[in-house]
Amino acid sequence: MTRSRPDAILMVSTVLNRKRVMEFAVNNRLPTMYEFGFLVRDGGLISYGPNLPETGRRVGALVVRILRGARAADLPLEQPTHFEFVVNLKTAKSLGLDLPPALLSRADEVIE
């Protein structure tokens, strides 16, 4: 990425090396988008993805059904139904970005 500088970074389904990616993004003034809100709370710019606590509750409910005797093959395949949009204004300011109020009003959480 240092030879052919990207315009932005999209990190999906990985949390490995997240600190290194965040440092690279800040040092190179690159906006970043992540799948999970906790990555934005750690310093990323924005995220849009499934709500992890809700996903955990759904998984827990399926585990309970299996422990009570249900066959895993008989359980329904579920997709996330609750997504969250998180914005980190501190990171935006460090990148020199002025995010529009319309974008901020749609966020589930704005970190200042």
The pLDDT of 77-95, averaged and rounded, is 93
Provide the mean pLDDT of the chain: 90
Closest CA to 34 of 13, 5, 16: 13
Q: What domains are there in the chain, each with its CATH number?
A: 9-51+82-111 (3.40.50.2300)
Which range is least confidently modeled, 1-5, 30-34, 71-75?
1-5
* Residue 10, strand partner residues: 33
pLDDT digits (tens, 9 = 90+) for 70-84: 999 999 999 998 999
Give me the pLDDT at residue 13, please.
66
Phi and psi at residue 107, to the nearest 5°: -70, 140
Looking at residue 72, the DSSP 8-state letter turns out to be G
Give me the pLDDT at residue 14, please.
67
Which has more confidence, 37 or 13? Answer: 37
What is the percent of the chain with per-residue pLDDT over 70, rounded to a whole number? 97
